[in-house]
Chains A and B, each alone.
Chain A
Amino acid sequence: MFAAQHKLDNLVVITDFNKMQIDAKVEEIISLEPLVDKWRAFGWEVFEMNGHDWDEIYDTVNKAIKVKDKPSMIVAHTVKARGNLCYENRVECHFISIPDENEHKRVIGGVCAEGDEQPFYFTWHEGTSE
């Protein structure tokens, strides 16, 4: 509210929107949706992007810094622990303890323990508003 009131167009904020928290998925605790509409209602210019795509990050930040008379919010759709098959997008990835060399190798190598569920993938395309 302060940033919109004072037209802080030199302020660009990125939400790392991975849709997870410690106890469960965010939507199972207190949903943030519709997140984009909420920021718009507070007087911010809002962009969405795939937070794992370097080109998209570069383009979106460049658009945001050119906005006049408003602060900008970039909602970056991301996947928590992306790139690690053991923990990617799983609730238990918030705090990972790696006690020894073997566990380090297992986690870095993405070798999942037997019985581990397959990770849940979320993909965002321009135009979707999950």
Chain B
Amino acid sequence: MNLHDKELRAVYTDTIIELMTENSNVVCLEADLGKSSGTVPRVREAFPDRFFDVGVAEANMISISAGLANEGMVPFCATFTPFATRRAYDQITISIAYAENPVKIVGTAPGVTTAKNGATHMCFQDLAIMRAMPNMRVYCPADVYELRSMLRYMAASRKPEYMQLIREVMPPIFDGSYEFDPHKARLLDAGSDVTVVTTGLTTKFARQAVAMLKQEGIHAEHIHYPSVKPFDVQTLLESVKKTNAVVTAENQNVIGGLGGAVCEVLAENHPVAVKRLGAQDRFGEVGDVAYLTQTLGFDAQGIATACREMKKAK
């Protein structure tokens, strides 16, 4: 099976099994959502001594992981994004970030991809709150190769890290040669009319939007950020000096996440007009991804429209 045909959660599980095979210090934790992350039953059966399902007790999962990391283990702990971040925020802050324990937190089903689970599970704030935490790194992979490389990087990094994990199949962007570097954004399309900045899910929509715009003679420069923190300042500034207009799109609230990071960098270095796409400071709702992204305005059409307007306003 081609790797690009696989669900990201299957690649998460495959890679965790590889890492656990190679390194006996790697451990896997779940909080009653192992089937959803993909690790139940495969990791549970392959490594019963290094797999821990703590039940619906996320703060405890974080505290246990911090202890394991402090003793030299490399814990990967996963659950839905709201429970992986906001529910256990104080434990993450004190026992992982402040104590510099290298726990790998995986937030599954980010933003609208939780779809029919609705607003309670639809976290639009994890990028913002995790980014605001000292010592914490924040990643959002957009395809299988990036995910695999990122997980290998995380297993070796000895840093506190948070990663969003989309569970479904994602369209191909990279190949086996891809090497994740948190200090390096990826230029996916070159152009001079407007800079489009995306991460995780929205990278897929921006690629569609950029292709649509090309047909109309609008040349957008598309930069994908696999790491929202650390943030690659140089790549953004080089692009913006050319385009002088920016559209950001994220599967999050527009406050404090990717759009926030872009605006902070630009305000201090090279102020230009920015349009932030994402949830406009509102909660989610029940629906499928197509409906939700259209309603919230960050699907391919929404990104294309914003790019046209930014070009027109120049």
Contacts and interface: CB of A to CB of B under 8 A. Distances in A.
B30 A23 contact: yes
Contacts of A29: 32, 53-55
Contact of A24 (B33, B36, B53, B57): B53
A30 B33 contact: no
B54 A30 contact: yes
Contacts of B57: 30
A108 interface: no
Nearest to B56: A21
Tell me whether chain A's interface is mostly helix, strand or loop, or mixed. loop
Nearest to A97: B116
Interface in B31-68: 32-36, 40, 53-57
A25 to B, nearest CB: 11
A11 interface: no
Nearest to A92: B35
A26 B55 CA distance: 8
Contacts of B40: 23
A111 interface: no
A22 interface: yes
Tell me whether chain B's interface is mostly helix, strand or loop, or mixed. loop
B35 A22 contact: yes
B133 to A, nearest CB: 28
Contacts of B36: 22
A4 B214 CA distance: 67
Contacts of A23: 30, 32-35, 40, 53
A101 to B, nearest CB: 19
A37 to B, nearest CB: 19
Interface in A28-65: 29-30
A12 B307 CA distance: 56
Nearest to B34: A23
B13 to A, nearest CB: 14
Contacts of A24: 53
A23 B79 CA distance: 12
A23 B36 CA distance: 9
A26 B53 CA distance: 11
Contacts of B32: 21-23, 29
A106 to B, nearest CB: 21
A20 to B, nearest CB: 11
A30 B54 CA distance: 7
Contacts of A26: 55
A53 B290 CA distance: 43
A21 B57 CA distance: 12
A64 to B, nearest CB: 26
B36 to A, nearest CB: 8
B63 to A, nearest CB: 14
Most-contacted residue by chain B among A23, A24, A30 (CB, 10 A):
A23
B277 to A, nearest CB: 30
Contacts of B53: 23-24, 29
A79 B74 CA distance: 39
Nearest to A21: B32
B44 to A, nearest CB: 8
Interface string B11-45: 00000000000000000001011111000100000
Interface of A: 21-24, 26, 29-30
23 contacts: A21-B32, A21-B55, A21-B56, A22-B32, A22-B33, A22-B35, A22-B36, A23-B30, A23-B32, A23-B33, A23-B34, A23-B35, A23-B40, A23-B53, A24-B53, A26-B55, A29-B32, A29-B53, A29-B54, A29-B55, A30-B54, A30-B55, A30-B57
Given A22-B33, A23-B40, A29-B55, 20 more contacts: A21-B32, A21-B55, A21-B56, A22-B32, A22-B35, A22-B36, A23-B30, A23-B32, A23-B33, A23-B34, A23-B35, A23-B53, A24-B53, A26-B55, A29-B32, A29-B53, A29-B54, A30-B54, A30-B55, A30-B57
